[in-house]
Chains A and B, each alone.
Chain A
C-alpha cells in the first residue's frame, strides 16, 4: 500500500479495544481473587465470546496480510524485469517501513520464488537493512574516524546512559532508537549526529541531552 493512501490516524477503535481487553483481564483477576477461582459459568461465557472474537481477529489478520501481499506484488512487478532485483525490492521495503518485517520478507520469498534463507542471507549481510522496527525518534551517531577523534565516543556513552539503551537498540517504550553509523560525510562539522533526519554538527557530550529534550518536547524547548 503506498504511504499516501494510509489514513492519517489509526482507527480509534484500535486503542479502545486494547483498553477493553486490559479491563476484562483485570475484572477476571478480581473475580479470581474474590473466589479463589473463576466460576464455571463465567469461564464458559468468556471462552464463548473469545471464540467469536478470535474468528474476527483471524479475519482482521487476513485483511492486513492481503495488504502486505498487494504491496509486495506491486514491488515485484515493478522490478520483475531487472536482473538481481532482490536488493532493490528490499530497499523499497526498508524505506517504506523503516525495517523489513518478517511477514513481508516471507511474501517476497513467495512472490520471487527465492528461498527465505536467501533473503535473510542478504538482509543480515548489509547494515542498511534492519530487522527490528525503529523507534519514534531515531538517533544516528556518527562514528567515522573524524568524529571518533573529536569525541564521538564520549557522546555515545552519554547517549547510552541518557536513553538507557545499547547501540543498535530501541528503548522499551519504542520512543528512541540509538544507532551508530559509519560516516555521514559531514566530517567538516565533526562530531556529528543525525536525529530524525536532521543533522547536528560540532557537538560535545553535553549537547546530547539538549538535543534529546528538544526532540521529545519541541514546545517546551522553544
Chain B
C-alpha cells in the first residue's frame, strides 16, 4: 500500500459515507462469537447470494448490548434500519427469508432505538410494541393484536406492520410503542389508547403528548463512537469513518504543547481508575529531557466483570492506535506498546492487524505523514496477573520479569520502561483522545460534572435485567444507569447494592443510588470508579460472601512482595472465612477494620492499598449483616439478609 498523505486523509474526510442501501452487520466480538455470531455470519454470507440483489455482509464490533448477543443490524432499501438481538441460526435464516427477501420484520428479536425522536418526520411503516413492566404476564401479544386490528379497520394493514420487540430501551413504563422510521416512542399505553394512536399518530402523523416518552437517551457515545459501525479489521473502513482525522489535524500544524492544552481543556482524566489528569501526565513526561521515551497503552483489563477495554480494542482498534500516536507526539515518545491480556486473543489479533496496516500506510514508522515525527508501536501480551494493571508492575512485565510493583517515586514518567520516561494510558483514555482533537476540548468538557468531565463506559453486569455496556456522561446517577438504561434487577427482586471498581472498589447500598457518578463522589462513598465495572446485587446476595469473594481475588493476585498486602490480606480472609461459616469470634469486625487500615497505609502498590475496600464498604453499609453472622449463625444471617432491606450504617445492629 502506498504511504498516505494529508491530501488522502482530506479526501476521506469529505467522502465519509455509508455503504450501499442493503447491508447486514454482524457483531463479531468475543461475546458475540461466544453466543454463536460466527455461524450466524456464515449463514448470512451464504444466504445473501441467493437473494438476487446486492447485500453487503460485514463483521463489526459490538454495539454493547451484551444481553442480546449475537447482534445483527440490518438495512434494507425502503425499510427502517433495525438491530436484531439473540439471533441464532434459525432466526438468521428467518431474517434472510422474511426481512431481506420478504420485507417483513421479525417478532421478538428487535431492539428498539435509544435515540428517540419527539416528532414524526414521515409516515410510519412499522410499529414496535413491548410490555416493559413485568417479566411475567406479558401483554405485548395482546397489544400487537389490537394495534393490528385497529390498523385493519383503517385499511392500513398493508402499509404498517406491528412487531413485537425484544427490548425497548425503556423499562417499567407499561406497554411501550415505537414508530419506525421516525423513532417516536410512546409509553404507558393502555388498551383504550390504541384507537387514538392509530388515528392521530399513524394516520395524522401527530404526536400524542400525554403518551410521548420525552426523556432523551442518557448515553453519549464518544469512546464507543465507532463500535458496531464498521469492520474493525478493515483499514479502509476505518479511514472512511473518520479514524486518523485527529492525527492528521495534529500533525498538520499543532505543536505538542497545543495537543496537551486541548486535552487540558477537555478535562480528560485517566479512565483506568485513579483518574489522574491525562494532560498533566503527558506534560510531566514531556518535561523530562532524557530520550528515548515510551508510551504504553494499558489493556490489561483484569477486573472480573469489566470488559469495556476489550470491546473497544475489538471494535475500534484504529482509534486506540490513533490515540496512542497522538499521545506519543505530545510527550515526544518514539516507541509505543500495547499491553493486552493474553486472554483476549481476538483483541490482540485485531490490534496487531491495525498496527501492520497503519505501518504499511505510513501512519507508523519514520516521518509520519511527511512530518518529522517518527513513532512505532508493538503489542505485548499480559499473562493473567491482575497486579500487572498497576503501572510499575506492567512495566516489569513488559521488560520480561515477574510483575511485581516497585515503590513510587520515581514515577514512570521519570524512570519507567527500561529506565526511560514512560507514560501509561488506559485504552478508553486513548480512544477518547482523537475525538477530543477532532471536535475540540470544549466539546468534550461540556459533558460531566465538576472535576470529572466527559463520558465513561460502564459494564453493568450481575443481577441486572439487561447486562450491557453503557457510555454515559459522568454525573448521571447510579439509579439512572441501573434502572433507566439496564432495566433494574433481574427477576423483579429488590436491589441491595451496586459494586463499582471491581476488587479495589466498594459496595454502594440502595439508599445511595441517587449519587452522581464521578471520581470524587464514589471515593467519598468508600468505593472507586475503577475501570468501570458495575455489578448489581439483589437481596439474595450476602455481603459477607461477596466481600469474601473479592478479598479472595486480591489475596490470590497479591504478588507477595510487601508484607501488609501478603499477610494482611490472608489474615483478613481467614477472619472472613470463619465469619461466613458462622464461627466468627467477638471482635472480628474490629480486627477486620484494623488490618484494613494497616493495609491501606502500608502497602506498596494500589492492589494492596485498595484490597480492603470491598470489606470496608460492606462493613460501613451492611454491618448488621456481619453482626448477624457473628451473633446468630449462618442460616439466621441468610434469612435476615434476604428478608430485610439494608439499614443505613447508623442503624441499630440486629438483635440476635
Number of interface residues of B (CB under 8 A): 51
Q: Are the C-beta atoms of A128 and B342 separated by less than 8 Å?
A: yes
CB distance from A58 to the nearest CB of B (A): 35
Asked whether B559 is an interface residue with its Cβ less than 8 Å from the other chain, the reply is yes
Q: Are the C-beta atoms of B467 and A187 separated by less than 8 Å?
A: yes
Residues of A within 8 A of B570 (CB): none
A164 to B35, CA, bound (A): 29
Q: Are the C-beta atoms of B34 and A201 separated by less than 8 Å?
A: yes
Asked whether A88 is an interface residue with its Cβ less than 8 Å from the other chain, the reply is yes
Interface residues of B in 528-567 (CB under 8 A from A): 533, 535, 537, 541, 546, 549-550, 553, 559
Q: Are the C-beta atoms of B400 and A183 separated by less than 8 Å?
A: no
Interface 9-mer from A45-53, A65-73, A141-149, A155-163 = A141-149
Which of B304, B402, B541 is the one whose CB lies under 8 Å from A144? B304
Asked whether A3 is an interface residue with its Cβ less than 8 Å from the other chain, the reply is no
Interface 9-mer from A12-20, A21-29, A30-38, A79-87 = A79-87
Q: Which of A88, A121, A125, A201 has the most CB of B within 10 A?
A: A125
Q: Are the C-beta atoms of B462 and A188 separated by less than 8 Å?
A: no
Interface residues of B in 205-259 (CB under 8 A from A): none
Q: Are the C-beta atoms of B533 and A145 separated by less than 8 Å?
A: yes
CB distance from A123 to the nearest CB of B (A): 9
A122 to B535, CA, bound (A): 32
Residues of B within 8 A of A146 (CB): 304-305, 461-462, 467, 535
Proximity bits, B313-355, A CB within 8 Å = 1, else 0: 0000000000000000000000000000011100000000000
Interface residues of B in 378-396 (CB under 8 A from A): 380-386
Residues of B within 8 A of A86 (CB): 400-401
Asked whether B270 is an interface residue with its Cβ less than 8 Å from the other chain, the reply is no
Which of B35, B383, B418, B541 is the one whose CB lies under 8 Å from A127? B383
Residues of B within 8 A of A190 (CB): 461, 467
Known A83-B399, A145-B462; judge A185-B31 contact (CB<8 A): yes
Residue of B nearest to A127 (CB): B384
Number of interface residues of A (CB under 8 A): 35
Residue of A nearest to B386 (CB): A182
Q: Are the C-beta atoms of B31 and A186 separated by less than 8 Å?
A: yes
A16 to B342, CA, bound (A): 40
Residues of B within 8 A of A201 (CB): 34-35
CB distance from A90 to the nearest CB of B (A): 8
Which of B69, B384, B550 is the one whose CB lies under 8 Å from A189? B69
Which of A83, A91, A187 is the one whose CB lies under 8 Å from B305? A187
A88 to B68, CA, bound (A): 36
Residues of A within 8 A of B307 (CB): 183, 185, 187
Asked whether A192 is an interface residue with its Cβ less than 8 Å from the other chain, the reply is yes
Residue of A nearest to B387 (CB): A125
A129 to B397, CA, bound (A): 14
Q: Are the C-beta atoms of A128 and B343 separated by less than 8 Å?
A: yes
CB distance from B483 to the nearest CB of A (A): 18
Residues of A within 8 A of B518 (CB): none
A186 to B305, CA, bound (A): 8
A127 to B383, CA, bound (A): 6
Residue of B nearest to A194 (CB): B34
Q: Are the C-beta atoms of A88 and B462 separated by less than 8 Å?
A: no
CB distance from B427 to the nearest CB of A (A): 13
Q: Are the C-beta atoms of A122 and B35 separated by less than 8 Å?
A: no
Residue of A nearest to B30 (CB): A185
Asked whether A199 is an interface residue with its Cβ less than 8 Å from the other chain, the reply is yes
| 17 pairs, CB–CB < 8 Å, chain A vs chain B | A84-B398, A87-B380, A88-B400, A91-B383, A128-B343, A145-B461, A149-B537, A149-B541, A149-B546, A150-B462, A182-B343, A182-B386, A185-B31, A188-B468, A190-B461, A192-B34, A201-B34
Which residues from chain A sit less than 8 Å from chain B, CB to CB? 83-88, 90-91, 121-122, 125-129, 143-146, 148-150, 181-190, 192, 199, 201
Q: A128-B383, A183-B304, A185-B310 are known contacts; what are 15 more A-B pairs with Cβ within 8 Å?
A: A87-B381, A91-B342, A125-B403, A145-B305, A145-B549, A146-B461, A182-B304, A182-B386, A183-B307, A185-B344, A187-B461, A189-B69, A190-B467, A199-B35, A201-B34
